[in-house]
């Protein structure tokens, strides 16, 4: 499975470069296991967010450090972080989970 993300600041109309993103996997006991962290590039993207050994079917969480990023670029953020939980049922497919962000709202979807 491959996983990517893209973060856009919809209030300013630019990519959210330099944002920390964390990937976790939910274990059979319902606990979160941290897998990998990365930072968005100058285009607000992380093209490959996969730990060594890859990913399998299961429930995952992307946590975006939105508050820290907002402070670093001098903008407001009501959300100190945004967690997006999603389920992978077809591990052979590519999964793209973008985040559209503004100071007081956000949305996400499964991209391509």
Task: Quick: pLDDT tens for 54-74.
Answer: 889 999 999 999 999 999 999
Predicted local confidence at residue 8, as pLDDT: 98
Contact (CB, 8 A) for 26 and 60: yes
Q: Which residues of the chain have pLDDT under 70?
A: none
- Edge to edge, the sheet with strand 58-64 lists 32-39, 20-26, 58-64, 82-88
Predicted local confidence at residue 46, as pLDDT: 98
Q: What total of structural domains would you count in the chain? A: 1
Structural domain that includes position 15: 2-108
Rounded Cα gap, residues 87 and 17, in angstroms: 26
Predicted local confidence at residue 106, as pLDDT: 98
Contact (CB, 8 A) for 25 and 49: no
Task: Please report, for the domain that includes residue 38, its CATH number.
Answer: 2.60.40.180
Predicted local confidence at residue 54, as pLDDT: 82
Predicted local confidence at residue 110, as pLDDT: 95
Predicted local confidence at residue 57, as pLDDT: 93
Predicted local confidence at residue 58, as pLDDT: 95
């Amino acid at each position: 499975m491959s996983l990517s993300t893209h973060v856009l600041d919809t209030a300013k109309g630019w990519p959210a470069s330099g944002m920390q993103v964390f990937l976790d996997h939910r274990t059979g006991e319902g606990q979160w296991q941290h897998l990998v962290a990365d930072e968005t590039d100058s285009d607000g993207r992380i093209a490959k967010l996969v730990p060594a050994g890859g990913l399998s079917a299961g429930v995952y969480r992307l946590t975006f450090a939105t508050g820290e990023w907002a402070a670093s670029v001098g903008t407001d953020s009501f959300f100190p972080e945004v967690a997006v939980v999603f389920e992978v049922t077809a591990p052979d497919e590519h999964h793209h989970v973008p985040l559209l962000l503004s100071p007081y709202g956000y949305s996400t979807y499964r991209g391509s």
